[in-house]
Homo-oligomer: A and B are copies of this chain.
Amino acid sequence: MSQIHDVTQYLSSFVNALYASGVTEAVICPGSRSTPLALALQRQGKITPYVLMDERSAAFFALGMAKVSGKPVVLLSTSGTAAANFMPAVVEAYWAHVPLIILTADRPPELRDSGASQTIDQVRLYGSHVKWFQDMPITNGDEALNRFAAITAERAVYYASIQPHGPVHLNFPFREPLLIEDTMRSSTMMPTPRVIPSIASPHPVLIRNVVHSLRSYRQGLILVGAGLMRPALTQILRLSEKLQWPIFADPLSNIRGLDPHIIGTYDAFLRNRTDLPIIDCIIRFGAPMTSKALNLYTENSYAIIVDGENSYREPQLQPGQVIEGDLNEVLVAINQQLELESFSSDSRWYTFWMQKHHEMLARIENTMPTLREPAEPFLYYHLNQWLTPVAPVDVFVSNSMPVRDLDTFTQNPDKSIQFWANRGANGIDGIISTTMGIAAMKSQAVLITGDLAFYHDMNGLFAAKKYNLDVLIIVINNDGGGIFSFLPQSRLDHEEFETLFGTPHGLTFEHAALLYGAHYRLAKTHDQLQRAFSDLVSLKGLRILEWQTRGRPENVVMHYEFWQG
């Protein structure tokens, strides 16, 4: 019983310190070895527990919560392959800068590599994909270890939360008995935060040099990628006005539609760019851009990158510089310096791009009514209008085709709509679960996904049933991997292509909906899609709208016809 008392004190200190440091949600996967931690999290009383059975799905659920809240979420598994199932979400969290605190229960050290059941090597299990790892001691009751547990909790929250945000991993070995006392230790009231961070400010001399160097460029663009960009909008507009360089904003920047000076049509008009001028400089804020057409167009430009999350993201190996620091502060510093410079801007450059933008906006408007059915762009074009009745709303888009079609066809969305995607590793796994995590933190969520990503993560639907989440899923079912039809692989022999890339599965998803008691509607035409969307969007609970578009090759033809005008 003394051991149970010791473990209770130790874990009380740990979970109380998590809460004191700002953790308010924990996703718990059932297991035996993890019992002491599961009970401690549950009994802490102020941390909201979610219990989900598939660890892969649970991890993406936690990722969704942390993604939209910006706050670290705790994720717990028992020992063995349970912990290994977290791997895909951990990798995504690492590259997408999402703060997660991963707790894995483990067998005690004396059972490792001995043939004991559910005993694997959990030390540094996630390798280079976590920011920090600790193999926790088994407490012997020393008060110093209770303090260690509290300090480690605070450090874990701190490391997960400093830029770039990311996952940390604490491995907790436990010996039997795997129980704790009913009464937890009360909070130890250690002052938080444990670590008092220094403040990093933009480097005044080096930023001045960067701004000086801008004078060499005449044909520049301001690119705004994924990230929390809205707080920096004012400064971005000010920069654009000063330089007379246009703003190209990614759909995941969530600033499209907030100001008429923001251009979102570039992915469409850059597909056919024989007559376009050379870009000699770009200034990019946030993550790399989604649009491959834009990235190809600017790949030889000088690049000034303000990452905003203190990571290094510049895959094009362009000449240029990466500026660290808070996005808004760097912008302020640049803008202030620009006021002091004699920068001769050319409004014709700016006007040229705005005209391109307006032409393309008009062409999208004109083209939409004429699209041969079923055309996937139809959905993205109407999204803003169709979602208005339920705004404010968060929309998660899957990788592969949805995020690309969103980029091309969703222009001027309302401020009350926010778009999200998993762009750390751009996988098509965990898509439904991530959406469920978003819905758990916000009042509702909408997901747009293809059929492969839907199939990959069908287990994620369970969370909606269990926690009565309000989620509308639009699954665009073209019976396979639509994006491959856009790639050089599509020129392979038809049978070989379909076997390895198209991978038709013949699945429809009504039974997936019924398995979890979801509202389900099937649409095949634009009219059916519109009506089903309208019917489902205002309902509560889990709703699945399956839009059977089929015709992957026809989808490609339609896109090319559009791009080529």
- What CA separation (Å) do A124 and B509 show in the bound complex? 37
Partner of A127, one of B82, B127, B465, B492: B127
- A95 at interface by CB-CB < 8 Å: yes
- What CA separation (Å) do A80 and B82 show in the bound complex? 20
Partner of A178, one of B178, B458, B462, B488: B488
Set of chain B residues within 8 Å of A82, measured between Cβ atoms: 427, 429
Partner of A120, one of B91, B456, B487, B514: B91
Which one of A110-118, A153-161, A470-478 is at the B interface? A110-118
**In the complex, are the beta carbons of B28 and A489 less than 8 A apart?**
no
**In the complex, are the beta carbons of A429 and B81 less than 8 A apart?**
yes
Interface residues of A in 113-157 (CB under 8 A from B): 113-121, 124-125, 127-129
**In the complex, are the beta carbons of B129 and A127 less than 8 A apart?**
no
Expressed in whole angstroms, the minimum distance between the Cβ of A479 and any Cβ of chain B is: 12
- What CA separation (Å) do A30 and B482 show in the bound complex? 12
Expressed in whole angstroms, the minimum distance between the Cβ of A428 and any Cβ of chain B is: 8
Set of chain B residues within 8 Å of A481, measured between Cβ atoms: 30
- A512 at interface by CB-CB < 8 Å: yes
- What CA separation (Å) do A458 and B507 show in the bound complex? 14
Set of chain B residues within 8 Å of A110, measured between Cβ atoms: 317
- A6 at interface by CB-CB < 8 Å: no
Residue of B at shortest CB range from A429? Answer: B81
- A293 at interface by CB-CB < 8 Å: no
Knowing A312-B114, A487-B32, the reply to whether A42 touches B425 (Cβ < 8 A) is: no
- What CA separation (Å) do A500 and B76 show in the bound complex? 12
**In the complex, are the beta carbons of A515 and B505 less than 8 A apart?**
no
Set of chain B residues within 8 Å of A489, measured between Cβ atoms: 32, 35, 178-179
**In the complex, are the beta carbons of A114 and B455 less than 8 A apart?**
no
Expressed in whole angstroms, the minimum distance between the Cβ of A70 and any Cβ of chain B is: 20
**In the complex, are the beta carbons of B114 and A95 less than 8 A apart?**
no
**In the complex, are the beta carbons of B425 and A81 less than 8 A apart?**
yes
- What CA separation (Å) do A28 and B42 show in the bound complex? 42
Set of chain B residues within 8 Å of A118, measured between Cβ atoms: 425-427
Set of chain B residues within 8 Å of A487, measured between Cβ atoms: 32, 178
Partner of A466, one of B92, B287, B505: B505
Q: Mark A51-95, 1 if CB is under 8 A from B, else 0.
A: 101111000000000000000000000001110110110111011
- A496 at interface by CB-CB < 8 Å: yes
**In the complex, are the beta carbons of A511 and B505 less than 8 A apart?**
no
**In the complex, are the beta carbons of A499 and B127 less than 8 A apart?**
no
Partner of A53, one of B484, B488, B505: B505
Partner of A179, one of B56, B121, B488, B499: B488
- What CA separation (Å) do A80 and B424 show in the bound complex? 9
**In the complex, are the beta carbons of A51 and B500 less than 8 A apart?**
yes
**In the complex, are the beta carbons of A30 and B501 less than 8 A apart?**
yes
Partner of A114, one of B81, B177, B314: B314
Set of chain B residues within 8 Å of A511, measured between Cβ atoms: 511-512, 514-515
Knowing A129-B120, A489-B178, the reply to whether A84 touches B80 (Cβ < 8 A) is: no
**In the complex, are the beta carbons of A315 and B429 less than 8 A apart?**
no
Set of chain B residues within 8 Å of A91, measured between Cβ atoms: 80-81, 84, 120
- A459 at interface by CB-CB < 8 Å: yes
**In the complex, are the beta carbons of A462 and B466 less than 8 A apart?**
no
Set of chain B residues within 8 Å of A263, measured between Cβ atoms: none
**In the complex, are the beta carbons of A42 and B116 less than 8 A apart?**
no
Knowing A56-B56, A85-B88, A515-B512, the reply to whether A458 touches B455 (Cβ < 8 A) is: no
- What CA separation (Å) do A88 and B32 show in the bound complex? 18
Set of chain B residues within 8 Å of A462, measured between Cβ atoms: 455, 505, 507
Set of chain B residues within 8 Å of A427, measured between Cβ atoms: 80-82, 118
Residue of B at shortest CB range from A422? Answer: B81
- A38 at interface by CB-CB < 8 Å: yes
- A503 at interface by CB-CB < 8 Å: yes
Expressed in whole angstroms, the minimum distance between the Cβ of A557 and any Cβ of chain B is: 20
- A208 at interface by CB-CB < 8 Å: no
Q: Which of A84, A92, A110, A515 has the most CB of B within 10 A?
A: A84
Partner of A315, one of B54, B88, B119, B499: B119
The chain A residues found within 8 Å of chain B, CB to CB, are 28, 30, 32, 35, 38-39, 42, 49, 51, 53-56, 80-82, 84-85, 87-88, 90-92, 94-95, 110-111, 113-121, 124-125, 127-129, 177-179, 287-288, 311-315, 317, 423, 425-427, 429-430, 452, 455-456, 458-459, 462, 465-466, 481, 483-484, 487-489, 492, 496, 499-501, 503, 505-507, 509, 511-512, 514-516
11 A-B residue pairs with CB within 8 Å: A30-B452, A30-B500, A81-B425, A82-B429, A85-B88, A115-B311, A117-B315, A117-B425, A121-B128, A465-B506, A511-B514
Nearest 6 A/B pairs, CB to CB: A115-B313, A81-B427, A116-B315, A511-B515, A87-B87, A114-B315
